[in-house]
């Protein structure tokens, strides 16, 4: 059979409905740490460096193709879900003339490591080779007995998994499903992970000979092994000890368990990269989040989307940061929510602040408790420390925003902009009725409703005259008495 090309094609099975999810969405698009489950399977498969990736899609295929988001991949539709053997059979045209390995992976194994798949391909390649003798010019010849490898693992409780029956040379005799296993076979704790490697020319010879005479009326890929054995070909077990990699996600509780394992892996990764976590069990961190060294994160923090956190930043308890860029040495105090925004170096946010909709908080600014900032730029060294709403505002540097300040940005029809220039002083409880501009070093008197622009260095004050009535209490007492 001549020279061996070190090549493989990957087939990923992603056609299932996932009935136990009780969902309108197909199983593999359900998210783990902010990414569809299939994303993690794809990453692992890609790590094994296949020549081509083929996805078998079926139920709600457009959603699945969108979630996979791969332009140079091949998508093959399995119109009826008739089992794993049938799913592989529908891809046959893509590998029937291929002289190499077909790697088959179930799309519901989000914890499988790329390294595991890479090693399995190497293992199969090694089994397939006879080292050529120098007299023959040192060419490698293929060991024609080797037909495949199944990744197996040992689990504490094998209930529900297909058991691997093998001989003493690690060759698999057969894989039996739980329902079809005898009492003796059920005692075996080595199980099938749902990851297979087959030599394409041999797989081609047996894939169409599968039958569906079983309880499920499905074509099982595992039956390929017995058919290959009948041809006198060998399928080997590659036992991988870390069984958590092979948790199959069949329902939402499996999804939660898988997400937890992956989350702890990521937290451990960022911890080794220099981040400190207090009570990491309670910290939620998504796939795209990036943390710098010397970041400190307290319990109940949730970091989502494309969020990055700069060095020496502290995020206190129960904060939520979504799709935001946090600079260096920032303090985000308890209970704050930051979404789609940028927080620059040395700022202090919170406690209980809310920043959203493309806001930018510049260096050394302070946004205090119960302040909401929406679609606004807050300049350097500016502080809004208490109870304010700043929406659609452009605020300069060294500005003081008094407690209770509100930008009245909406007139019932349209949103309008408020501009506050450098070094302005906004007195407490000022209503700024947009569109309005407050000049440099201008001042608003507390309790004012500002409806006109205030020039630089001017005072804008709008309130009725204070009236003082002397001895009012005595008069009132007489009246009441």
Q: For residue 89, is it within any domain?
A: yes
Distance of CA 195 to the CA centre of its chain: 23
Cβ–Cβ < 8 Å for 407, 430: no
State the DSSP H helix or E strand holding residue 206, giving kind and residue range, or none if neither: helix 200-207
Beta strands in 108-189 (DSSP E): 129-130, 141-142, 146-154, 163-166, 172-176
State the DSSP H helix or E strand holding residue 120, giving kind and residue range, or none if neither: helix 114-128
Please state, in angstroms and rounded to a whole number, the distance separating the CA atoms of residues 105 and 13.
Answer: 6
Tell me, yes or no, whether 342 and 202 share the same domain: no
Residues near 431 by Cβ (< 8 Å), separated by ≥ 6?
Answer: 406, 408, 448, 449, 450
Domain final position from 246, 265, 297: 246
Give me the count of residues in the chain. 481
pLDDT at 394: 99
Tell me, yes or no, whether 316 and 201 share the same domain: no
Count Cα atoms within 13 angstroms, Cβ side, for 40.
30
> 125 falls in which pLDDT band (50, 70, 90)?
very high
Cβ–Cβ < 8 Å for 243, 192: no
pLDDT at 348: 99
Please state, in angstroms and rounded to a whole number, the distance separating the CA atoms of residues 106 and 46.
Answer: 14
Please state, in angstroms and rounded to a whole number, the distance separating the CA atoms of residues 266 and 263.
Answer: 5
pLDDT tens for 197-222 read 999 999 999 999 999 988 889 999 99
Tell me, yes or no, whether 266 and 386 share the same domain: yes
pLDDT exceeds cutoff 70 at 73: yes
pLDDT at 4: 47
pLDDT at 328: 99
pLDDT at 141: 72
Closest CA to 431 of 465, 402, 395, 469: 402
Question: In this structure, what CATH number is given to the domain that contains residue 193?
Answer: 3.90.550.10
Tell me, yes or no, whether 379 and 240 share the same domain: no
Residue whose pair of structure tokens reads 């349209």 in the numeric block: 414
Cβ–Cβ < 8 Å for 76, 32: no
Apex 258 CA angle, 255 and 259, nearest 5: 85
Residue numbers of the domain that contains 437? 252-460
The one-character DSSP state at 403 is T
> 179 falls in which pLDDT band (50, 70, 90)?
confident
pLDDT at 136: 55
Question: In this structure, what CATH number is given to the domain that contains residue 293?
Answer: 2.160.10.10
Q: For residue 260, is it within any domain?
A: yes
Enzyme catalytic residues: 386
Tell me, yes or no, whether 240 and 275 share the same domain: no
Averaged over 424-435, what is the pLDDT?
A: 98
Tell me, yes or no, whether 127 and 256 share the same domain: no
> 477 falls in which pLDDT band (50, 70, 90)?
confident
Please state, in angstroms and rounded to a whole number, the distance separating the CA atoms of residues 100 and 222.
Answer: 20
Is 340 in a helix, a strand, or coil? coil
How many percent of the chain have pLDDT more than 70?
A: 96
Q: For residue 364, is it within any domain?
A: yes
> Would you tell me the crossing angle of helices 114-128 and 37-47 to the nearest 10 degrees?
40
pLDDT exceeds cutoff 80 at 409: yes
The one-character DSSP state at 428 is T
Tell me, yes or no, whether 218 and 148 share the same domain: yes
pLDDT at 137: 56
Please state, in angstroms and rounded to a whole number, the distance separating the CA atoms of residues 408 and 415.
Answer: 9
Is 95 in a helix, a strand, or coil? coil
- When divided into structural domains, the chain yields a total of 2
Q: For residue 481, is it within any domain?
A: no
Domain final position from 231, 246, 261: 246
pLDDT exceeds cutoff 60 at 451: yes
Is 457 in a helix, a strand, or coil? coil
Q: For residue 280, is it within any domain?
A: yes
Average pLDDT, the chain: 95
Please state, in angstroms and rounded to a whole number, the distance separating the CA atoms of residues 52 and 62.
Answer: 20
Averaged over 111-135, what is the pLDDT?
A: 86
> 416 falls in which pLDDT band (50, 70, 90)?
very high
Averaged over 7-32, what is the pLDDT?
A: 96
> 311 falls in which pLDDT band (50, 70, 90)?
very high
Tell me, yes or no, whether 242 and 267 share the same domain: no
pLDDT at 216: 84
Domain final position from 211, 246, 281: 246
Q: How far is CA 393 from CA 157, 432, 446, in A?
A: 59, 10, 19
Residues near 373 by Cβ (< 8 Å), separated by ≥ 6?
Answer: 341, 353, 354, 355, 356, 359, 361, 367, 384, 390, 391
pLDDT tens for 126-176 read 999 865 545 555 566 778 999 999 999 999 999 989 999 999 999 999 999
How many percent of the chain have pLDDT more than 90?
A: 90
pLDDT at 6: 58
pLDDT at 3: 42
Q: For residue 471, is it within any domain?
A: no
Structure tokens of 23? 């969902």
Tell me, yes or no, whether 272 and 393 share the same domain: yes
Tell me, yes or no, whether 290 and 187 share the same domain: no
Please state, in angstroms and rounded to a whole number, the distance separating the CA atoms of residues 367 and 385.
Answer: 5
Tell me, yes or no, whether 239 and 273 share the same domain: no
Tell me, yes or no, whether 24 and 109 share the same domain: yes
Please state, in angstroms and rounded to a whole number, the distance separating the CA atoms of residues 176 and 180.
Answer: 6
State the DSSP H helix or E strand holding residue 83, giving kind and residue range, or none if neither: none
Please state, in angstroms and rounded to a whole number, the distance separating the CA atoms of residues 162 and 156.
Answer: 14
Instruction: Tell me the whole-structure pTM to 2 decimals.
Output: 0.91
Q: For residue 475, is it within any domain?
A: no
> 2 falls in which pLDDT band (50, 70, 90)?
very low
**74 in the Ramachandran plot: left (φ > 0), alpha (ψ -120 to 50) or beta?**
beta
pLDDT at 480: 80
Q: For residue 469, is it within any domain?
A: no
**138 in the Ramachandran plot: left (φ > 0), alpha (ψ -120 to 50) or beta?**
left
């Amino acid at each position: 059979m001549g020279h061996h090309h070190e090549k493989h094609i990957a087939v990923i099975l992603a056609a299932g409905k996932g009935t136990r999810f009780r969902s309108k969405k197909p199983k593999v698009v359900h998210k783990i740490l902010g990414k569809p489950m299939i994303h993690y399977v794809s990453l692992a498969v890609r790590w094994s460096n296949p020549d081509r990736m083929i996805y078998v899609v079926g139920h709600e295929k457009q959603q699945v193709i969108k979630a996979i988001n791969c332009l140079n991949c091949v998508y093959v539709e399995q119109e009826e879900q008739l089992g794993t053997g049938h799913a592989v059979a529908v891809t046959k045209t893509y590998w029937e003339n291929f002289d190499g390995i077909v790697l088959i992976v179930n799309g519901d194994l989000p914890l499988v490591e790329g390294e595991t798949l890479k090693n399995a391909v190497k293992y199969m390649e090694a089994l397939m080779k006879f080292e050529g003798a120098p007299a023959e010019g040192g060419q490698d010849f293929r060991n024609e007995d080797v037909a495949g490898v199944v990744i197996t693992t040992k689990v504490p409780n094998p209930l529900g998994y297909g058991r691997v029956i093998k001989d003493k040379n690690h060759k698999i005799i057969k894989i039996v499903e739980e329902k079809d296993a005898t009492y003796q076979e059920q005692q075996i704790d080595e199980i099938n992970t749902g990851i297979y490697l087959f030599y394409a020319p041999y797989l081609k010879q047996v894939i169409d000979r599968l039958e569906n005479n079983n309880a499920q009326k499905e074509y099982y890929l595992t039956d390929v092994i017995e058919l290959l054995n009948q041809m006198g070909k060998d399928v080997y077990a590659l036992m991988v000890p870390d069984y958590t990699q092979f948790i199959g996600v069949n329902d939402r509780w499996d999804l939660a368990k898988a997400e937890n394992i992956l989350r702890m892996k990521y937290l451990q990764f960022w911890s080794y990269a220099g981040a400190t976590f207090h009570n990491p069990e309670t910290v939620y961190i998504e796939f795209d989040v990036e943390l710098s060294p010397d970041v400190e994160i307290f319990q109940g923090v949730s970091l989502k989307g494309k969020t990055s956190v700069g060095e020496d930043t502290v995020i206190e308890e129960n904060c939520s940061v979504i799709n935001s860029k946090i600079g260096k040495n920032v303090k985000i105090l308890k209970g704050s929510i930051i979404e789609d925004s940028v927080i620059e170096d040395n700022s202090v946010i919170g406690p209980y602040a809310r920043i959203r909709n493309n806001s930018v908080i510049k260096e050394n600014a302070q946004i205090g408790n119960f302040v909401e900032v929406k679609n606004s730029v807050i300049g350097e060294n500016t502080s809004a420390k208490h109870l304010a709403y700043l929406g659609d505002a452009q605020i300069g540097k060294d500005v003081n925003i008094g407690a209770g300040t509100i930008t009245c940005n909406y007139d019932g029809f349209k949103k309008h902009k408020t501009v506050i220039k450098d070094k302005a002083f906004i007195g407490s409880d000022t209503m700024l009725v947009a569109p309005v501009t407050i000049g440099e070093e201008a001042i608003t008197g507390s309790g004012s409703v500002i409806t006109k622009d205030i020039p630089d260095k001017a005072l804008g004050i709008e309130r009725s005259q204070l009236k003082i009535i002397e001895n009012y209490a005595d008069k009132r007492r007489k009246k009441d008495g």
